[in-house]
A and B are shown apart, each in its own frame.
Chain A
Amino acid sequence: MPQKRVSLRINGRDYTHEVEPRLLLVHYLRDMIGLTGTHIGCETSICGACTVMLNGEAIKSCTVLTVQADGGEVLTIEGLGRAEELHPLQEGFWECHGLQCGYCTPGMILAAYQLLLRHPDPTEEEIRRGLDGNLCRCTGYQHIVDAVQYAARKMRESK
């Protein structure tokens, strides 16, 4: 299979690799970069477990080719916060019990990240609608909504 050279900035670091043109971005992130915090849950862009930020927009990395992301900037869950300084969303999910098995969580957090970029002060309805591209089978979503509200509050306060 012919290879194509791609260069991406991922979580602030630059990477260049030769990849198969059909290589999915999620497999590139997981298998070649070793960032396994991005998960695969459905392969059809429904569940959102693979959500990452690409050039400032939340995308489903299970249906994006790596070559489509060439030259782009990617943010994954590993780049969002640090142990000693969690992102307010990570903190919110922890404080509000916004996760159980944790599998949907990285994607859910990144979808919420985009939501808060667009709506810093969302209503509950806006949060629920904004997260419709991400499925969680454990929590019933209520604590996730609480977590996003917690983060929104905290981010507004720190501005």
Chain B
Amino acid sequence: MPISKLVGARVKRREDPRLIRGLAHYVDDIQLPNVLHAAILRSPYAHARIRAMRTDQARRHPGVVAVVTGNEIRDQVGCVPVASQNPTLRVPKRYVLAVDKVCFVGEGVVVVVAEDRYAARDALDLIEVDYEPLPVVSDPEKALASGAPVIHPEWPDNVAFRFDLKQGNLAKAFKEAERVVKQRLIHQRLAPIAIEPRGVLARYLPGEDELTLWSSTQIPHILKTQLSVMLKLPENRVRVIAPEVGGGFGSKLNVYAEEGLIGHLAIKLKRPVKWIEGRRENMQGTIHGRGQVGEVEVAVKKDGTILGLQYRVIADIGAYHQLLTPGIPPLTGLMLSGAYKIPALAIEVTGVFTNKVATDAYRGAGRPEATYVIERIIDRVAQELAIDPVKIRQKNFPRPKEFPFKTATGLIYDSGNYQGALNKALRLSGYQGWRGEQRKLREKGRYLGIGLSTYVEICGMGPSAAMPAGGWESGTVRVEPTGKVTVLTGVSPHGQGQETSFAQIVADEFGVPLDDIHVIHGDTAVVPSGIGTFGSRATAVGGTAVFQAAQKVKEKAREIAAHLLESDPEDLVFSESRFSVKGVPKKGVSLQEIALEAHLARNLPKKMEPGLTATSVFEPANFTFPFGAHICIVEVDPETGRIEIRKYVAVDDCGKVINPLLVDGQIHGGIAQGLGQALLEEVVYDEEGQLLTGSLMDYALPKAEDLPRLELARTETPTPVNPLGVKGVGEAGTIGSTPAIVNAVVDALAPFGVTHVDMPLKPEKIWRLCREKKERRAEGAG
């Protein structure tokens, strides 16, 4: 084993020079000669029958090349795919453009293709569509009520799927309970808002019969397969390229109508076609996240021991499924026991169709919901039993020696030391001191709150058996004849920095400088196979594949070296990128010399194939389970409803760390999004299914000023699931932070008799709540 030089070091990113100089190429930056621009007319109604359309004027508009409606291509382009093995699943057909009827505001109805984007956009205004409005179901709970309008008449009601999980003797748990605590919780819809909206550029070469599609996607290989099905093209004639991608957060972990539509248009028109999503389209038509309403009930003993938990939840699916829609709410169910020993559980998930855009994976995807449920209810229990929220958590943690720990939901937590992370967070935050401060300030009429969250999450996705579309990942390492190293990975980074961290892994293995390594991703014609970047899997699964490929290359190099040095492979030592004979350091050969020999292939061991390259496909045996403890200190001003975050400490354990700089960045960004949910963000539709938060003027994203300086620390508990010991960190910050912040605010408002507030905790809501509670008390006293 070489002495590690780069793995674990704060190496600055190799991606950055092109990005800080404005030289990177996102989809819209790619210029192709003769390109056409597409614009899409979208439904202004949440639910309506399309009675008639008039497109002649648009067709005659100068610069317009084509106007295409859903009916015209319904048999030519396949439906938007959904990946799920749930036997109860109902899958309504989702055409790439609406056929006969629209089911949500923003659903594509007509596409215009023109010589430039302004002409395409102008022509949209010349299209007339007669809609016959239909009754709308916007609220998921109302959508389930009997007599509610049914969105898809193929089925008797709006149920999209069910998912149930029962383990242990719940009836007994509730019978033996000394206290039962119940809470209704709303996980509002959120918009992922990658700052780069989606975009698609497609080029078809009729001579070669080849379609190349550039898309702002997290999953180029999956998209390639699905596109070939949608477009009825042989898969080996489809190439997908994810160029520079400006953020995803799950919103680009999908196969969208526009990808099929633009690919189809490029084939039909025999010219390249580009479609760049506007922000308004993005708010209406790109997936949303969360959107659950649930009721949790726990059975506890007086000392805080949890005996059982029951959760009934309605998941707002939207009008149609997208790729992973039905897979997200079940993840909530699976992770409901959180970081605690809960012997009996029952979870009932009901997915419900509503006249809204689909929900799907948004950073955390099901786990923030689970963590919020368990972390909120454990605080509620602590409040009811007057136990310190630290003590109740400690009481229910599995001990480090109990790992691997099997949960009642059937998962096996790989490794963990929850108490260790919590202790560190308590120490760093000065928890006890803040409790004293809280008492003092309360006497002065100031409201300080201390919120905890001790989360565990599921990532490193994942074993293929448990995934809807493969959970392995590929890595190829090739030493070129000149000694430069090329790495191909099936993951598709879009900000996570794996061009750097994967190079660190290989540089350590080969003893070569970082600058000699180039990491290529996101092109299905270059990278042989892959799954993509999501579920905090890239390093745990993709990094391991790269690591194993490098090891294979090194073993082959050792054999070549032994052959060249006329020595036994076992007698060679590897140091500073060179094999030499043990005890005879001068007798050696460098990796570069070996690579050249491997390519020239004039003097290789018998039967050895030329070249110095290897591919590894890593199939993880389990998920990984990062964990941590977040502590948030807030002060709430009841007169204004303003929440000030006085301190935020996050102790996260993501196993081994390849590059601490990147890990810090992931945690910072994750916490910002978790804070966004807790305090600011909310997708709002009205009763008619109109999107009221349709632009960034109406949807509040966290700004620099909304965030405090975050204090980060780590504990390091390696996973046994992969040889690198890494767990994944992309979503941990989002998962851990939201309940810490909400718990802090509820704690601050405890003197008002507040036990729960639904997110987002906007000042107005807090102000009203405080006023209401005060008034009620005054009435009671009077």
| Interface of A toward B, CB cutoff 8 Å | 20, 22-23, 27, 30, 34-44, 46-47, 49, 76-78, 80-81, 83, 86, 90, 93-95, 97, 99-106, 109, 124, 127-129, 131-132, 134-145
Contact = CB atoms under 8 A, between A and B. Distances in A.
A41 B704 contact: no
Interface of B: 12-13, 15-26, 28-29, 31, 117-118, 193-197, 244-249, 276, 278-280, 494-497, 661-662, 664-665, 667-673, 695-697, 701-705, 707, 709-710, 733
Contact of A101 (B23, B28, B31, B196): B196
Q: Top 9 A-B pairs ranked by shortest CB distance?
A: A37-B22, A103-B246, A102-B19, A101-B495, A140-B668, A100-B495, A77-B22, A140-B672, A36-B29
Given A83-B17, A101-B246, A102-B19, A47 B696 contact: yes
Contact of B703 (A20, A42, A132): A132
Contact of B196 (A30, A39, A86): A39
A102 B15 contact: yes
Contacts of B20: 77, 86, 90, 93-94, 99, 102, 105-106, 109
Contacts of A137: 193-195, 247, 249, 669, 672-673, 701
A103 B697 contact: no
B394 to A, nearest CB: 29
Nearest to B705: A128
B23 A37 contact: yes
Nearest to A139: B669
Contacts of A100: 247, 495-497, 665, 669
A88 to B, nearest CB: 11
Nearest to B709: A142
A100 B247 CA distance: 8
21 contacts: A30-B28, A35-B22, A39-B196, A46-B696, A46-B697, A78-B21, A80-B21, A81-B21, A97-B13, A100-B495, A101-B195, A102-B18, A128-B704, A132-B703, A138-B247, A140-B668, A140-B669, A140-B710, A141-B704, A143-B665, A144-B704
Nearest to A101: B495
A104 to B, nearest CB: 5
B707 A142 contact: yes
Contacts of A104: 195, 246
A39 B496 CA distance: 20
A43 B661 CA distance: 32
A103 B704 contact: no
Nearest to A87: B20
Contacts of B665: 97, 100, 138-139, 143
Contacts of A101: 194-196, 244-248, 494-495
A93 B16 contact: yes
For A83, A103, A124, A139, which residue has the most chain B Cβ atoms within 10 angstroms? A103
B21 A83 contact: yes
A97 B705 contact: no
B696 A42 contact: yes
B195 A129 contact: no
Contact of B707 (A76, A102, A129, A141): A141
Instruction: Find the residue from B19, B249, B278, B494 having the highest chain A CB count within 10 A.
Output: B19
Q: Chain B interface mostly helix, strand, loop or mixed? A: loop
A46 B664 CA distance: 27
A36 B671 CA distance: 31
Contacts of B19: 99, 102, 105
Given A44-B696, A140-B707, A97 B196 contact: no
Most chain B CB atoms below 10 A, which of A46, A97, A124: A97
A49 B195 contact: yes
Contacts of A140: 667-672, 702, 707, 710, 733
A41 B279 contact: yes
A131 to B, nearest CB: 5
Contacts of B696: 42, 44, 46-47, 135
A92 B703 CA distance: 20
A76 B673 CA distance: 29
Given A42-B696, A97-B664, A140-B671, 6 more contacts: A47-B279, A99-B16, A127-B704, A131-B704, A138-B665, A143-B664
A99 B195 CA distance: 12
Given A101-B194, A140-B669, A90 B21 contact: yes
Nearest to B119: A1
Nearest to A132: B703
A94 B16 contact: yes
Contact of B22 (A38, A95, A127, A143): A38
A146 to B, nearest CB: 10
Contacts of B17: 83, 94
A132 B704 contact: yes
A145 B708 CA distance: 11
A123 to B, nearest CB: 12
Contacts of B12: 94-95, 97
Nearest to A105: B19
A102 B279 contact: no
A139 B25 CA distance: 20
A132 B705 CA distance: 7
B590 to A, nearest CB: 30
A135 B195 contact: yes
A106 B22 contact: yes
B21 A102 contact: no
Nearest to A24: B118
Contacts of B669: 100, 137-140
A136 B580 CA distance: 50
Contacts of A105: 19-20
A86 B667 CA distance: 28
Nearest to A37: B22
Contacts of B664: 97, 143
B31 A34 contact: yes
Contacts of A136: 195, 704
A100 B317 CA distance: 30
A18 to B, nearest CB: 14
B195 A142 contact: no
A69 B574 CA distance: 62
Contact of A44 (B15, B118, B249, B279): B279
Contacts of A129: 704-705
Contacts of A124: 709
A44 B246 CA distance: 18
Contact of B13 (A35, A42, A94, A142): A94
Nearest to A90: B20
Given A83-B17, A129-B705, A142-B709, A42 B279 contact: yes
**Most chain A CB neighbours (cut-off 10 Å) among B31, B247, B702:** B247
Contact of A78 (B23, B25, B695): B23
A101 B193 CA distance: 13
A151 B22 CA distance: 18
A27 B116 CA distance: 11
A43 B278 contact: yes
A38 B705 CA distance: 24
B714 to A, nearest CB: 16
Contacts of B16: 93-94, 99, 102
Contacts of A34: 31
